[in-house]
Amino acid sequence: MKPSIQTNLVLRMQKLGKNYRIKNDPEILHKAAKHNLREINAELQPDSTSHINSTLSQLNRILRGKSTAWEIAKESERLMAEANAKVKRVDNIRGVELVFSLPNRFAFDRNACFEDFVLWVESYFPNIPILSAVAHWDESTPHIHVILLPLIDGKLQGHVVMGNRHQINKMRESCYAVVGKKYGMELTKRDKLDIVETKQIASEAVDKIVTNPQLLNDMEIKDELLAIIAKNPYKLAGLIGNAQCKKPPKPRKQTFVGIMTSKVKPDKQPHPRPRMSDS
């Protein structure tokens, strides 16, 4: 009999071709691998905003790929050279990353589930090399990152691997049929899942800014916020304006009668100076 605890299938796909600071970053694969393999020291500090509990990082597991980001980057270069493939455009998608998450309360063997997920990735993308698959146990929820090198017919074709919305839905349905059902998961409609995910991401971003207001000094972050708010600024501007208008009440002016009849504090009497004793 299967346990009654159920969870939604949470599977995200994202392209690796740029980051928020650099429009097209040729080192993005290496940087993604450094994050996944916990090679970025700044993210492991207690005051970091990365939400990584470094005391648990030893529980992370490498299911596929090399053990260092440098080796993963070199493997990518080797596979590209072997296929005689080149980066022809600065906006080429250099990698595709799948992130599969589980809840903290999970009634099955999570390590087995992660291994089954990687096996499903290998079967669903049979001709796409897996550069790395790393399971994380040191953040708020257990999850696994799988980085694919989108080589098809000797060319980088990340857009083909990413697909359109319909193809992404088909991918999720396949993952549910092979992995989700086995582990008691439910397949949530993509639209509802989008709303939940975007709200969670937005909430985490606001919390980070509240706890680290110095982030607003970063012009990239400030410009991004301005671009988002500018799409519909009126309600937020009104709320902020009303909040600023709530000033503390001014002290009431006293009347002449009030002044004359108010209690007066007694004058402080000077303390007598000690007398000098006769020498």
Comparing 29 with 279, the larger pLDDT belongs to: 29
- 20 has pLDDT over 80: no
The topology under which CATH files domain 7-188 is BirA Bifunctional Protein; domain 2 (3.30.930)
Token pair in block for residue 61: 């597991």
Q: Taking residues 142-157, report their average pLDDT.
A: 94
pLDDT at 47: 78
SS3 10: strand
Report DSSP state, residue 106. -
CB 92 within 8 A of CB 158: yes
Express each pLDDT in 192-226 by its tens digit. Answer: 555 555 666 777 778 778 878 888 887 768 777 88
Q: Taking residues 43-54, report their average pLDDT.
A: 85
- 265 has pLDDT over 50: yes
> Does the predicted model carry a pTM greater than 0.85?
no
Comparing 237 with 84, the larger pLDDT belongs to: 84
Domain ranges in the chain are: 7-188, 190-238
**CA-to-CA distance for 266 and 19, rounded, in angstroms?**
70
CB 108 within 8 A of CB 156: no
Residue 163: exposure state from Cβ atoms within 10 A (0-12, 13-18, ≥19): middle
Express each pLDDT in 62-97 by its tens digit. Answer: 999 999 999 999 999 999 999 999 887 777 889 999
Express each pLDDT in 90-149 by its tens digit. Answer: 778 899 999 999 988 888 999 999 999 999 999 999 999 999 999 999 998 999 999 999
pLDDT at 1: 40
Residue 254 confidence class, pLDDT cut points 50, 70, 90: low
Contacts (Cβ under 8 Å, ≥6 apart) of 156: 80, 85, 87, 88, 92, 93, 94, 150
CB 90 within 8 A of CB 3: no
**CA-to-CA distance for 191 and 67, rounded, in angstroms?**
37
